[in-house]
Amino acid sequence: MNIFERRTTTQTVELRAKGDVRTAVGHAAVFGRLSQNLGGFVETVAAGAFTKTMEEQDIRALFNHNEDHVLGRAQSGTLRLVEDDEGLAYEIDLPDTSSGRDLAVSLERGDVTGSSFGFRVVEDEWGETEQGFPLRTLKQVSLRDVGPVTFPAYTDSRAALRSLAEARSLDLDTLVAASDAGDLRSILVPLAGASPDDVEDDGREQPTVIPARIGGLYS
């Protein structure tokens, strides 16, 4: 069973007002940009990853992924989602509730600027960046929620690595240990036909290893 995951973007959320309606406008995800190190690998979102889920799911808008702070809903029309050239764009007509009013003030002041989306992966693909660093591409996801967030969400790499383990018939605990050590590539490259010597001496520039689980930002 796929595990629920969260990712964050630093794209700025704007507050727009028309009459009594205040609308939060932003991008929950951006296409084709590499994330920060998510624990020995990086990630990108493919264009079209949200097409199917927007047609089938009744997605909610939440503040900080908190179910107690519902801001909008696709079915009611208070949350509107669209895939544009940049990524997954959203508009939320903020409710006249304490959480809605408080968020509007925080957005207006610039105290809250980040966006995030919660999802389960339907289809992903593992490969490498041009520098030879493990790369996960989200091809299709099932959305649960989108919305503004106060802080970048910390990510648990185990959720992503579970899909890799299933796709390559690998031991999950072994992948997690390699991820924590920043050494996923030593496992993935031999699977693509390289020898162990190729892994260590392939001549390609190695990326700076960022400590695992520092956050899932698409900057």
Predicted TM-score (pTM) of the model is 0.78
- Percent of the chain having pLDDT more than 90? 56
pLDDT of residue 104: 96
User: What are the pLDDT digits (tens) for 78-109?
Assistant: 999 999 999 999 999 999 999 999 999 999 99
Residue boundaries of the structural domains of the chain: 5-203+211-218
pLDDT category at 201 given cuts 50, 70, 90 is very low
Q: Does the structure show a pLDDT above 50 at 112?
A: yes
pLDDT of residue 181: 80
User: 149: closest CA among 8, 2, 46?
Assistant: 8
pLDDT category at 175 given cuts 50, 70, 90 is confident
Provide mean pLDDT across the span 39-50. Answer: 93
pLDDT category at 17 given cuts 50, 70, 90 is very high
pLDDT of residue 200: 43
Q: In which region does residue 170 sit, left (phi positive, over 0), alpha (psi from -120 to 50) or beta (all else)?
A: beta
Question: Hey, what long-range contacts does 123-132 have (CB within 8 A, 24 or more apart)?
Answer: 124/160, 124/163, 124/167, 126/164, 126/167, 126/168, 126/188, 128/185, 128/188, 128/189, 129/34, 129/42, 129/207, 131/204, 131/205, 131/206, 131/207, 132/185, 132/189, 132/202, 132/204, 132/205, 132/206
Report the chain's mean pLDDT, rounded to a whole number.
Answer: 84
pLDDT higher at 88 or 185:
88
pLDDT higher at 132 or 45:
45
Angle at 89 (CA atoms; ends 15, 210), nearest 5 degrees = 100
User: What are the pLDDT digits (tens) for 188-200?
Assistant: 765 544 444 443 4
User: What are the pLDDT digits (tens) for 138-173?
Assistant: 999 999 999 999 986 556 677 788 888 887 888 888
pLDDT of residue 153: 53
Task: Compute φ and ψ for 77, nearest 5 degrees.
Answer: 85, 0
Q: Does the structure show a pLDDT above 80 at 61?
A: yes
Pairwise CA distance, residues 213 & 105, whole Å: 31
- Tell me whether residue 35 is exposed, middle or buried, using C-beta atoms within 10 angstroms of its C-beta: 0 to 12, 13 to 18, 19 or more: buried
Q: Does the structure show a pLDDT above 80 at 202?
A: no
To which H or E segment does residue 217 belong? strand 217-218
pLDDT of residue 194: 43
- Percent of the chain having pLDDT more than 70? 82
